[in-house]
Amino acid sequence: MRQATARHITFSLILTIVAIMVVSCTTLPPEPPADAVKTDAETTVQTVLQLATFRDRLSDGTEGPEMVKIPVGTFLMGSPDDEKGRLEREGPVHRVTFARPFAMGRYEVTVAEFGMFVKATGYRTDAERCGEGCWHVVLTKGMLRDKPTEDASWRNPYIDQTGVHPVVCVSWNDAQAYVKWLSKETGKRYRLPTEAEWEYAARANTKTAYWWGDDFKGNRANCRFCGSGWDFLKGTAPVGSFPANPFGLSDTAGNVWEWVQDCMHQSYKGAPEDGRAWGEEDCGKCGWRGDRGGSWGNSPDTLRSAFRGWDYRPHHLIGFRLAQDL
Ligand SMILES: [Ca+2]
């Protein structure tokens, strides 16, 4: 009996020691991998995010897309003459000052978010209604070319998509329909960002070619030849797959081009200095709308914060990001 008690005590002791070891192991913080050490910019991101993200509720009580309040101020829009890869259309550099606060989507609008709109309204996108369908890139003998395909749309964009990927094959008009619906659902003023707001938010107080510096670093964004797992024209990455910029926005560089409100202007001569959208005044061509940030099918130079694109088509390289008046 005494032996049995001793064995029991010994067994209990061993159990206690093992339990202490397990608890100790699980409460010790894991050693971070070398590449997870945060830069100053990433520490800033966390600080901003804790203060400034929100989601508005839709009429059925579900939460809308995550938004980030942008700390407004002044910035220099465009690229300096000596920036590598610069195009004339990125100048002249001009000062823009925002008078009113605004918010931007933390991520590109996703397939799931756009799908909620379509489900609620029965909306049919331009690609689904207008015969030509959605444009997409095909690789032929090492060369990329664009091609419209009648049955391609946001539902079937000729790339693999899930609900957490950015929606593509949506025209500028489709983006307008979505923000109108979201505004009605939430009672808030959603819209596309102006081109100035987009660049200001993408730069996040940086003056370099990319928000992380002047050189392209691997695994910072989803684009062609960007050193990420999506390098070989695999399509979009789930939103937020890469580090966010210092304002807390993900994928401003790459993944999908993002529609902005402005009409096409070939240079910044006469551009507004208050951050408003630049419309047909000053010879704007509103059949073409601005899209910014480059995409999974483009090379790194198009991901520079100052790079300006325009388009008129629903395309599987193009999506959009929200803005909201505060
Ligand atoms: Ca993007």
Mean pLDDT of 11-30: 36
Is residue 311 within 8 A of residue 298, CB to CB? The reply is no
Rounded CA-CA distance 291/313 in Å is 11
For the purposes of burial, counting CB atoms within 10 Å of the CB of 140, is it exposed (0-12), middle (13-18) or buried (19 or more)? exposed
CA 251 / ligand 1 centre spacing (Å): 5
Return the percentage of the chain with pLDDT > 90, whole number.
74
Q: Considering only CA atoms, which of 248, 227, 228, 226 is closest in space to residue 238?
A: 228
CA 22 / ligand 1 centre spacing (Å): 44
For the purposes of burial, counting CB atoms within 10 Å of the CB of 40, is it exposed (0-12), middle (13-18) or buried (19 or more)? exposed
CATH superfamily of 21-325: paralog of FGE (formylglycine-generating enzyme) (3.90.1580.10)
| Sequence-separated (6 or more) residues with CB below 8 Å from residue 18 | none
**What are the backbone angles phi and psi of residue 320, rounded to the nearest 5°?**
-160, 165
> Domains of the chain: which residue ranges?
21-325
CA 24 / ligand 1 centre spacing (Å): 43
Among the ranges given (25-29, 98-102, 173-177, 316-320), the one the predictor scored with the smallest mean pLDDT? 25-29
Query: Two tokens at 71?
Result: 């700390």
**What integer pLDDT is reported at residue 231 of this predicted model?**
74
Query: Two tokens at 196?
Result: 């100035």
From its phi and psi, is residue 286 left (phi > 0), alpha (psi between -120 and 50) or beta?
alpha
Q: Considering only CA atoms, which of 85, 72, 295, 290 is closest in space to residue 200?
A: 72
Rounded CA-CA distance 315/170 in Å is 7
Q: Which helix (H) or strand (E) holds 239?
A: none
CA 272 / ligand 1 centre spacing (Å): 24
CA 43 / ligand 1 centre spacing (Å): 22
Mean pLDDT of 12-18: 40
**pLDDT above 80: residue 37:** no
For the purposes of burial, counting CB atoms within 10 Å of the CB of 227, is it exposed (0-12), middle (13-18) or buried (19 or more)? middle
Is residue 202 within 8 A of residue 252, CB to CB? The reply is yes
CA 259 / ligand 1 centre spacing (Å): 9
Alpha helix stretches (DSSP H) within 108-235: 111-121, 126-129, 172-186, 195-203
**pLDDT above 80: residue 11:** no
The single-letter code of the amino acid at 296 is W
| Sequence-separated (6 or more) residues with CB below 8 Å from residue 155 | 128
Q: Model confidence at 50, in pLDDT bands (50, 70, 90)?
A: low
Average pLDDT, the chain: 87
Q: Model confidence at 56, in pLDDT bands (50, 70, 90)?
A: very high
Is residue 222 within 8 A of residue 228, CB to CB? The reply is yes
Is residue 239 within 8 A of residue 110, CB to CB? The reply is yes
128 CA to centre of own chain: 24
**pLDDT above 60: residue 142:** yes
**What integer pLDDT is reported at residue 143 of this predicted model?**
83
CA 230 / ligand 1 centre spacing (Å): 14
CA 200 / ligand 1 centre spacing (Å): 14
CA 138 / ligand 1 centre spacing (Å): 20
Q: Considering only CA atoms, which of 186, 199, 187, 210 is closest in space to residue 321?
A: 199
Among the ranges given (8-22, 206-220, 252-266), the one the predictor scored with the smallest mean pLDDT? 8-22
For the purposes of burial, counting CB atoms within 10 Å of the CB of 42, is it exposed (0-12), middle (13-18) or buried (19 or more)? middle
Could you identify the residue written with the tokens 């070989």?
232
pTM for the full predicted model: 0.84
Helix, strand, or coil (residue 110): strand
Is residue 169 within 8 A of residue 148, CB to CB? The reply is no
CA 246 / ligand 1 centre spacing (Å): 15
